[in-house]
């Protein structure tokens, strides 16, 4: 799976990846929004979240799932749309690798915080939360968006939701912003590590 928040395609939850259908093409899998339906239903024990810049990795986190052998479809798909606040990994990352020259880390939704991978829903908004980073994924398409950054609102609703890129619905509080990179999601059944920053990602990573 790959998320490009400025490729002209909105890749929200209910209007995008939760259905598990093929999205995009293999030829543009790491430059535009992409989802492999085959991998979406493949059993996995590990998940890697990879930020990359024009095909070069600059940050990686790898986690081990709490429940072994389930697919992303089972963990995050439409059949599990109301999970409450469900921690799906065994604590924090088992690998965290960030390039020395990586930019925009202060409010990055993945790499500015610690913690586990969470699948959460709250009220009328649905959040697929990696670490402690809330990424609203509402059922209303007007509020759909690819990637939001960490919001600094203290225990109240933000007036504006600060986003990466331009791929979002017409909700009046959604604000386009700087793209920090593409975010790719990889799964593995047995590999606990992922290539380091500076390496080039591909559809399949041999370890």
**In angstroms, rounded to a whole number, what is the distance separating the alpha carbons of residues 10 and 145?**
6
3-state class (DSSP) for residue 193: coil
Residue 27 backbone phi and psi in degrees, to 5: -65, -30
Using the 8-state DSSP alphabet, how is residue 5 labeled? Answer: T
pLDDT value for 123: 31
Q: Place 87 in a pLDDT band, splitting at 50, 70 and 90.
A: confident
pLDDT value for 124: 30
pLDDT digits (tens, 9 = 90+) for 39-85: 999 999 999 999 999 889 999 999 999 999 999 998 887 665 655 57
Of 63, 72, 5, the closest CA to residue 33 belongs to 5
pLDDT value for 155: 53
pLDDT value for 22: 94
More confident residue, 77 or 2: 2
pLDDT value for 77: 77
Q: Place 118 in a pLDDT band, splitting at 50, 70 and 90.
A: confident
pLDDT value for 76: 84
pLDDT value for 136: 40
pLDDT digits (tens, 9 = 90+) for 127-169: 334 443 434 444 567 778 899 898 776 655 667 888 999 999 8
Length of the chain equals 207
pLDDT value for 17: 76
pLDDT value for 48: 96
Buried b (16+ CB within 10 A) or exposed e, 116-153: bbbbbbeeeebbbbbbebbbbbbeeeebbbbbbbbbee
pLDDT value for 86: 76
Instruction: Please give the angle made by the CA atoms of 139, 148 and 113, to the nearest 5 degrees.
Output: 120
**In angstroms, rounded to a whole number, what is the distance separating the alpha carbons of residues 77 and 57?**
27
Whose structure tokens read 């380091």?
196
Task: Answer yes or no: pTM beyond 0.85.
Answer: yes
Q: Mean pLDDT, to the nearest integer, of 89-111?
A: 94
pLDDT digits (tens, 9 = 90+) for 12-33: 777 677 788 999 999 999 999 9
């Amino acid at each position: 799976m790959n998320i490009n928040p400025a490729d002209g395609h909105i890749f929200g939850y209910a209007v995008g990846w939760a259905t598990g259908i093929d999205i995009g093409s293999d030829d543009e899998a790491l430059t535009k929004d992409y989802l492999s339906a085959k991998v979406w239903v493949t059993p996995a024990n590990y998940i890697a979240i990879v930020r990359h810049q024009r095909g070069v990795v600059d940050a990686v986190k790898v986690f081990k799932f709490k429940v072994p052998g389930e697919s992303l479809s089972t963990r995050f798909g439409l059949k599990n749309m109301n999970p409450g606040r469900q921690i799906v990994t065994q604590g924090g990352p088992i690998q965290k690798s960030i390039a020395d020259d990586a930019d925009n880390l202060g409010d990055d939704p993945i790499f500015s915080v610690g913690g586990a991978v969470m699948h959460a829903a709250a009220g009328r908004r649905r959040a697929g939360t990696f670490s402690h980073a809330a990424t609203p994924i509402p059922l209303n398409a007007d509020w759909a968006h690819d990637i939001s950054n960490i919001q600094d609102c203290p225990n109240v609703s933000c007036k504006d939701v600060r986003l990466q890129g331009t791929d979002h619905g017409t909700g009046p509080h959604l604000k386009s912003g700087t793209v920090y990179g593409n975010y790719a999601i990889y799964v593995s059944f047995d590999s606990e590590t992922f290539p380091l920053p500076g390496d080039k990602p591909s559809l399949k990573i041999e370890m």
